[in-house]
Structures are given as structure tokens and as C-alpha cells.
Amino acid sequence: MSEALVATQVPEADASGTSGARQFWRRLRAQRAALVAAAVVALLVLVALAAPLLTAIEGQDPTTYHPSLVDSARGGVPIGSFGGISGDHWLGVEPQTGRDLFARLVYGARVSLGVALAATAVQVLLGVVVGVASALGNRWVDQLLSRIADIIVAMPLMIMALALLAVVPGSFPRPVLVALIIGFVAWGTIAKITRAATLTLKELDYVSAARLSGWGTWRIARRELLPGLAAPIITYAALMVPANITIEAALSFLGVGVKPPTPSWGQMLTSANVWYQAAPQYLLLPAGALFVTVLALTVLGDGIRTALDPRAASRLRVGTGRGQEAKS
């Protein structure tokens, strides 16, 4: 079943360098939704990178308490309308602590995107190494690695990540830890995709030619196979990023991921849970930020898939309508 799904992601023998890249950009640009999503993602990355600058302009930081801005008589509700929005605090302040919400939100973007990207890098690295080794190794290596990948795929990500978080010493920097754990529990699918793609590529003439000219396995893998693997790997990695964002937010929401005082959107949602009536924006801001980020990354990932593999993606595209039947 999954083998069949994997197989559709392998592009036809299209490993040409520059012209492939140009074609990719042309196809990506042709999709309006993907372009909008790319712009949103670019903006989010910019905000995350510029978080210290933005908060400096605002004149706030994400960790300073402002007890004078919350009404302790009413349990810590922010003073002022709309949760204490003012020229000093652009999005208001956190109930109880009075920490600046804008600062926590933009620093939260750093955590969210940083953890997701780092986790994706770990997943791609592990998955590609295992996948290529599995496809090029002998039968026993292949069997062993494939079965391990099967188990990794079968295990629920959330459960494994949660369980691993229990045994790692607390002194480890939390965001790095969360990224590593997400990376280590979710490389199975990318290993399977890489293995399937490598097996296909291995049989192609230019790889056989390299083998016949006496190249070593390592050199063939690096010079001949990796460029051809780029398309399926990028396609899958692009869709892993939003999934990783969700996982990080979920772990932090459960209180086991990124811990305070480091701000994270998932963690903000947990504490906002009880404040929705008194300070609705405290809940709506991280929820909205998560939604927009995951949506933009998903649409962009779909766009990248369509651009890299139009044949497989056409089935998922919106409104292909009757043309679909005629074509097939």
C-alpha cells in the first residue's frame, strides 16, 4: 500500500540540473495560491528572524513582568480595553504576569519555525542516509533497515516524542531537545521514500555507466543518486515542516515541550485556556498564528509538490474537472 503511494512520488528520469530548477520555478510561479503562501511564509520567517529588532522598536521584551498592568483584584485581568492594547503594548499583555504579548508572539514564531526546521533537517538527514544505505546495501542491511523504518513509521509520533521527553535530563536546552526528539521519531517515511526512489534510480543507464566505469558506491550515491533524489525528498520535507510545527505546538501545549519562560504558541494556548472570556486575544493570537503558519506551509508544500511532480499532483488539484477523464 505505502509502497504504491511512494512509487508515485518518484519522478521520471528527470535529474537534469539547471533546466529542472528553472522548470520548477516556472511551475511554482504558475500557482497563485502557492505564491501567496510563499509570501506569507517569507513574512513569518522575516518576523521570526527580526524578533529582537521588532520588540526593540516596540520597546518591550518577552520575559519582563509588568504587574502594574494587570488588575490583581480581579485575578490578574489586563487593565484597559482589549486586553491592555496600547502604544507601548501593541497586542496587549498576558493576564496575571503582564508580559508583552506581541513580544511573546514574535519570539514564539522563532521557537515554532526554528524547532520545525531543525526537526525537518534531522528527519531528512536520518531518512536519506538510512534510505540510500538500505537501497544500496546487501539484502540483510536492506531487510534490517527497512524493518526498523517500518516500526518507526508505525509508532505514533506524539506518543514516542512524549515518552522520550520523560527520560531526557531536564538540563538539556528545551527547544533543541524537542527538535531532536521530533527528528528522531519521524524519519521513517522519508527513509522509505528515499529507498524506493534510489531503487528506481539505481537501474537507470547513467548510474550503471558510473558503476561500469568503476566508481565506488559512496561516489555514485553522492554524485549520481543524490541529485535525482532531490525532487521526492524536497516534496516530502516541505510537507513535514507544517506537521512538525503542529507537533511542537502540541507537545508544548501538553506542558512537556518548550518550557517557560521561553515563549511558544502551544504553551500560550494552554495558559490562555482559562482566560478566554476576560482576555480573548490572549487565546486568539497564538491560535491564529498557528493556523496561518500551518496553512501557509501546507499550501506551499502542495505547490512545491505540484511543481516537482505534476503527474501525481494533478489528482489532488482543485477543480481539474472533466479534463481529468479525457486525459486518462
Partner 1 sequence: MSGFAGFAVRRTVAAVLTLLALSVIIYVVFYATPGNVAQITCGPRCSPEQVHQVAQQLRLDDPLYLRYWHFLEGIVVGQDYSTGTSVEHCSAPCLGQSYQSDQQVMQIILTKLPVSLSLVIGAMVLWLLLGVGTGILSAWRRGRLSERVLTGITLAGLSTPVFVIGLVLMIVVCGQLELLPFPEYVSFSDDPEQWAWGLLLPWLTLALGEAAYFARLTRASMLETLAEDHIRTFRAYGVGERSIVGRHALRGALAPIIALNANDFGSAVGGAVLIESLFGLPGIGQELVHAVNVVDLPVVVGMVLVIGFFVVLANAVADVLYALADRRVVLT
Q: Measured from the CB of residue 292, what is the shortest distance to partner 1 in angstroms? A: 9
Instruction: Give the span between the Cα atoms of 320 and 326, in whole angstroms.
Output: 11
Locate 216 and state its grid cell: 565506488
**Interface with partner 1 (CB under 8 A), residue from 36, 165, 210, 230:** 165
| Site map 253..292 versus partner 1, x via CB under 8 A | xxxx---------x--x---x--xx-----x---x--xx-
Calculate ∠ Cα 167-169-174, nearest 5°. Answer: 105
- Whose cell is 558506491? That residue is 217
Distance CA 290, CA 244 (A): 12
- Choose, by CB under 8 A, the member of 76, 108, 131, 242 that binds partner 1: 242
Q: Which of 19, 138, 171, 328 forms a contact with partner 1 (CB under 8 A)?
A: 328
- Of the pair 87, 156, the CB lying nearest partner 1 is at 156
Q: HSE on the CB side for 136, CA within 13 Å? A: 23
Total of chain residues touching partner 1, rule CB under 8 A: 52
Smallest distance from the beta carbon of 248 to partner 1, in angstroms?
10
Q: Does 133 bind partner 1 (CB under 8 A)?
A: no
Is residue 207 within 8 Å of residue 224, measured between CB atoms? yes
Alpha-carbon gap, residue 302 to 290, rounded angstroms: 18
Spatial distance between the Cα atoms of 68 and 64, rounded to a whole number of angstroms: 12
CB of 216 to partner 1, least distance (A): 32
Considering only residues 6 to 65 of the shown chain, the ones binding partner 1 according to CB under 8 A are: none
Contact call for residue 141 and partner 1 (CB under 8 A): no
* Only segment of 66-74, 130-138, 219-227, 311-319 that touches partner 1 (CB under 8 A): 311-319
Taking the least distance from each CB to partner 1, the nearer of 164 and 230 is 164
- Binders of partner 1 among residues 167 to 186 (CB under 8 A) are 167, 169
User: Contact region for partner 1 (CB under 8 A) — 62-70, 72-80, 101-109, 142-150?
Assistant: 142-150
Angle at 85 between CA 84 and CA 89, to 5 degrees: 100
Cβ contacts of 268 within 8 Å, gap of 6 or more: 104, 105, 108, 282, 285, 286
Using the contact rule CB under 8 A, the part of the chain among 21-29, 69-77, 117-125, 318-326 near partner 1 is: 318-326
Indicate which single residue of 53, 159, 176, 209 sits in contact with partner 1 (rule: CB under 8 A).
159
The dihedral formed by the CA atoms of 64, 70, 72 and 77, expressed in degrees to the nearest 10: -120
**Interacting residues with partner 1 between 108 and 127 (CB under 8 A):** none
| 318 counts as binding partner 1 under rule CB under 8 A | yes
Which residue, 133 or 294, has its beta carbon nearer to partner 1?
Answer: 294
CA dist 101 and 247 (Å) reads 22
Q: What is the DSSP letter of 11?
A: P
Single out the residue of 48, 177, 172, 47 nearest to residue 118, CA to CA.
177
End-to-end, the C-alpha distance of the chain in Å comes to 22
Look-up of cell digits 534510480: 201
Choices 44-52, 71-79, 192-200, 320-328 (CB under 8 A): range interacting with partner 1: 320-328
How many Å apart are CA 88 and CA 54, to the nearest integer? 13
Site residues, partner 1 (CB under 8 A): 1-2, 147-148, 150-151, 154-160, 162-167, 169, 242, 246, 249-250, 253-256, 266, 269, 273, 276-277, 283, 287, 290-291, 294-295, 298-299, 315-316, 318-322, 324-325, 327-328
